[in-house]
């Protein structure tokens, strides 16, 4: 149905709002100004770096918000699994259990909650006699969540074999909950290290600004000779490479 299609979200893409683009552009301009001053003391360098930094930071902003949205969806799906398992244990069929779970999810997350929008669309499709497993499989394909795909497969096997869907769903919900707890622990452990990394990223700039303020002219040779500019370009490359390497080390896939 048209109503259900409108509620579907492609979790593999994210379109930044005008305010989010402006925020990324502001960050890009600030980073370009800092790099141009520290490494080159040149407006020409600022003009060259500006589009590059803005493009990278817009891409980074989109990627971060995409990851944040998918993480939020996974957390809400974990709660939905618990509610769905309870509804199945109460004797509801899968189709009716999803409709009952939708009402409870609305109380938890409101109409604009990601999982509420997904469950609302799935319930509407199920009411048009679409297969539950197929609807869940489509949701798994859009969301990229392995847990949704596992749920679709478990439901399909349970319905074909005539198993106790309530107990099967409770076990599946417990497994998903345990996985989410491990993921949250990893995020908690790495958050402090990521904050430390951000501080370390700013220390070289602090040192240079401090020396420049206390000893004016100390770095003049680096900005007014070709050899100095080549050296500063190499230092910039080393710095960017170190920041990228540190981020890759702390970016644990979960």
Give residue 253's pLDDT: 63
Q: How far is CA 57 from the centre of its chain?
A: 15
Q: Where are the beta strands (DSSP E) in 75-132?
A: none
Sign of CA dihedral 201, 211, 33, 234: negative
Q: Give the pair of three-digit tokens for residue 25.
A: 């552009």
Cα 191 to Cα 197: distance, rounded to the nearest angstrom: 10
Cα 31 to Cα 37: distance, rounded to the nearest angstrom: 10
Cα 234 to Cα 225: distance, rounded to the nearest angstrom: 14
Give residue 4's pLDDT: 41
Where residue 20 falls (left for φ over 0; alpha for ψ -120 to 50; beta otherwise) is alpha
Q: Which residues contact 178 (CB under 8 A, 6 or more apart)?
A: none
CB 11 within 8 A of CB 142: yes
CB 47 within 8 A of CB 33: no
Q: Which residues contact 207 (CB under 8 A, 6 or more apart)?
A: none
∠ CA 76-82-83, rounded to 5°: 90
Give residue 248's pLDDT: 84
Which residue numbers in the chain have pLDDT < 50? 1-7
Q: What is the pLDDT of residues 198-212, one digit of tens each?
A: 899 999 999 988 888
Using alpha carbons, select from 76, 104, 78, 77 the residue that is nearest to residue 90: 104
CB 81 within 8 A of CB 89: no
Q: How far is CA 249 from the centre of its chain?
A: 17
Provide the angle, in degrees to the nearest 10, between the axes of the packed helices 132-143 and 114-127: 150
CB 142 within 8 A of CB 10: yes
Give residue 161's pLDDT: 74
> Buried b vs exposed e over 174-206: b needs ≥16 C-beta within 10 Å?
eebeeebeebeeeeeebeeeeeeeeeeeeeeee
């Amino acid at each position: 149905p048209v109503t259900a299609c409108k509620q579907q979200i492609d979790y593999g893409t994210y379109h930044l709002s005008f305010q989010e683009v402006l925020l990324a552009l502001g960050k890009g301009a600030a980073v370009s100004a800092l790099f141009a001053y520290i490494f080159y003391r040149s407006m020409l360098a600022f003009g060259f770096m500006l589009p590059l930094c803005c493009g990278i930071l817009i891409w980074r902003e989109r990627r971060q918000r995409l990851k944040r949205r998918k993480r939020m969806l996974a957390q809400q799906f974990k709660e939905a699994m618990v509610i769905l398992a309870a509804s199945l244990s109460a004797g509801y069929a899968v189709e009716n259990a999803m409709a009952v779970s939708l009402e409870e999810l609305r109380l938890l997350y409101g109409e604009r909650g990601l999982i509420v929008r997904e469950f609302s669309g799935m319930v509407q499709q199920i009411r048009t006699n679409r297969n539950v497993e197929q609807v869940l499989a489509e949701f798994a394909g859009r969301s990229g969540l392995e847990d949704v795909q596992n749920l679709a497969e478990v439901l399909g096997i349970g319905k074909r074999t005539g198993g106790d869907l309530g107990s099967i769903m409770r076990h599946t919900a417990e497994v998903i909950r345990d996985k989410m707890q491990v993921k949250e622990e990893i995020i908690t452990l790495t958050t402090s290290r990521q904050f430390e990394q951000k501080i370390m990223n700013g220390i070289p700039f602090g040192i240079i600004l401090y020396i420049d303020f206390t000893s004016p002219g100390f770095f003049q040779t680096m900005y007014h000779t070709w050899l100095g500019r080549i050296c500063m370009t190499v230092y910039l490359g080393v710095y960017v490479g170190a920041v990228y390497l540190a981020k890759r080390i702390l970016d644990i896939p979960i």
